[in-house]
Structure 1
Amino acid sequence: MILVRVGLAILSALFINLVWHGGHETAQYGMIAPQDEQLSGIWAIAWHAVEKAALGVYQLAIIVIPLMVGIQILKDLKVLQWFSRMMAPFTRILGMKENTSTTLAAGLLFGLAYGAGVMIQAVKEDGVSKKDVTLAFIFLVGCHAVVEDTLIFVPLGIPVLPLLFIRLFTAILLTLIVGFIWNRREIAKNNIQNAFER
């Protein structure tokens, strides 16, 4: 998982650096206006830093607190079970059994940190195989917490729809490739065992 996460980060950075030639203009971070005047004096700089930090925390709180309340409401209303049933065909396409859908749904909706408890419980209760849980986490490394992460990037002025689609595409492609290779190795291993048994 570490190799997949670090590898994806490095490859993404290299790809974006080679393909995208924008971003030279001054960034506008949500409600924080760009700084035009030069600050002088330790107190002016310190006050400016505290002011900007408080505004940044406020912007994240506006997004994260309602999101966490919403996640708890979704848990209480058993929306995860419904979403898991809707995801079952998608898990089959990615090369996993249907019992992996709850693990995948928890990671997509709640993220790896907030959804970890739900995912671990789902793996234990649903009897998810090592292969399926590995494929699920490979997918989630590329694309997890699609609601939370997408909303957190809004105050930074990042165009979130392209970011979301790139994450989904990368996660699906990577999971399909790993699943295909894993299935081929299992078939080859079974063929060798069958040949020895004869």
Structure 2
Amino acid sequence: MGTHLERIWLCIKNALPKSARTCIWLLKIILPISLLVRLLEYSGWLAEISGFLSPLFSLVGLPGETAIIFITSTFGPLYAPIALITSMSLGLREATILAIMCLVSHNLIVESSIQAKTGSSFWGMTILRLSMSFLIAFTLNLVLPEWSGQTVGKALAATQDTSLKEVLILWITGSMSVIITILLIVTGLMILHNVLDEFRLMKKLSDLFAPLMKIFGLPRDAAFLWLVGNVVGLAYGGAIMVEQMQLKKLTQKEGHLLNHHLAVSHSLLEDTVIFVAIGIPALWILGTRLLFAIAVVWGRRLYNFIYSRNVIKRPLEG
């Protein structure tokens, strides 16, 4: 028993320095971006950008200024978009749609590059994720209830009537509460990851999830990499996924199918927790991503089946 406690304590000690480095990294991302949004709002430029993009985003039930959040998400991790969401006062319905768009299409350059090393095309995965973001948002806009009166983001708007000093106060108070929440979550997740790794629990957990692979349209052998992609994430779990593919744990075709699923639904643990922390309903995050990921994989399998039948049929006809 004492040995187990010592190993857990070691996991915690190893996680804390990584957590501290992540904290500094997050501060460098969140603070400048959230301040920029405040200043754009104060200057009136945000309203101009919003007006230009309103027609596109109105199709999915979102105000034009949310385009900045979505675009920001495509270039990096989710912490900056979360800071931006909490810098604006959005209805819970709009925030949920926007959150799922960001969840599908965040950090595209890094994550699509990793998927390109595990059996897929960089541009294929990027286009898939962007198109699915808007398809999912369009669908949610049709089915989500109104949730009247519920909002995400408590900060007051920084208008041109607000002084620059008040803008800075709004920025500091709005950002710090989000940062503290996220830092606690990141530290907890790092400790959890170290514990799973230390006690070799990932393999045991993947065996439990193996029967689900049939529902997902994936091979049973994909369970371990599916779990890596959903517990550790694509960015942090990329090295493991590349190594497993190089060891031929999955064929390239099977890896390509898995990437279709992970393109829509990955990092279910961390991504869900950090959005739930700002008030987004967990059920909509998990259910929506899994449902569309399953649909994408079975759609890809149907395409592969039809394509293979046509390829076989052409030589016979010739």
Would you say same fold, with TM above 0.5?
yes
Q: Is the deviation greater in 114-123 or in 14-23?
A: 14-23
Residue 129 of structure 2 is matched in structure 1 by 5
Count of residue correspondences? 193
Q: String of CA shifts for 1:156-197, please: whole Å, max 9, x gaps.
A: 21111122111111111111121222134234435656x49x
Are the aligned partners of 1:88 and 1:98 in contact in 2 as well (CA < 8 Å)? yes
Are the aligned partners of 1:28 and 1:34 in contact in 2 as well (CA < 8 Å)? no
The residue correspondences of 1:99-178 to structure 2 (distance < 5 A) are: 99-178=221-300
**Which AA in structure 2 matches 1:101?**
A
Residue 78 of structure 1 is matched in structure 2 by 200
TM-superposed CA distance for 1:21, in Å, is 5.9
Q: Is the deviation greater in 87-96 or in 70-79?
A: 87-96
Q: Does 1:61 align with 2:189?
A: no
Residue 53 of structure 2 is matched in structure 1 by none
TM-superposed CA distance for 1:52, in Å, is 1.6
**Which AA in structure 2 matches 1:5?**
R
Alignment CA distance shift 1:170-1:95 (3 Å): closer
Q: Does 1:44 align with 2:166?
A: yes
Residue 180 of structure 1 is matched in structure 2 by 302
TM-superposed CA distance for 1:24, in Å, is 5.9
Structure 1 unaligned blocks of 5 or more: none
Q: Distance in 2 between matches of 1:73 and 1:191?
A: 53
Alignment CA distance shift 1:171-1:37 (3 Å): closer
Q: Does 1:19 align with 2:153?
A: no
What is the SS of the residue equivalent to 2:223? helix
Scaled by the length of structure 2, the TM-score of the pair is 0.54
Q: String of CA shifts for 1:39-95, please: whole Å, max 9, x gaps.
A: 843223212212221211111112121012211211222111112222333334444
Are the aligned partners of 1:26 and 1:34 in contact in 2 as well (CA < 8 Å)? no
Q: Distance in 2 between matches of 1:4 and 1:83?
A: 29
**Which AA in structure 2 matches 1:19?**
V
Seq. identity, %: 22
Q: Distance in 2 between matches of 1:42 and 1:34?
A: 15
Are the aligned partners of 2:272 and 2:282 in contact in 1 as well (CA < 8 Å)? yes
Q: Distance in 2 between matches of 1:137 and 1:99?
A: 14
What is the SS of the residue equivalent to 2:250? coil
Structure 2 unaligned blocks of 5 or more: 1-124
Are the aligned partners of 2:216 and 2:294 in contact in 1 as well (CA < 8 Å)? yes
What is the SS of the residue equivalent to 1:156? coil
Are the aligned partners of 1:99 and 1:126 in contact in 2 as well (CA < 8 Å)? no
Q: Distance in 2 between matches of 1:95 and 1:169?
A: 12
What is the SS of the residue equivalent to 2:296? helix
Scaled by the length of structure 1, the TM-score of the pair is 0.83
Are the aligned partners of 2:158 and 2:167 in contact in 1 as well (CA < 8 Å)? no
CA RMSD of aligned residues (A): 2.8
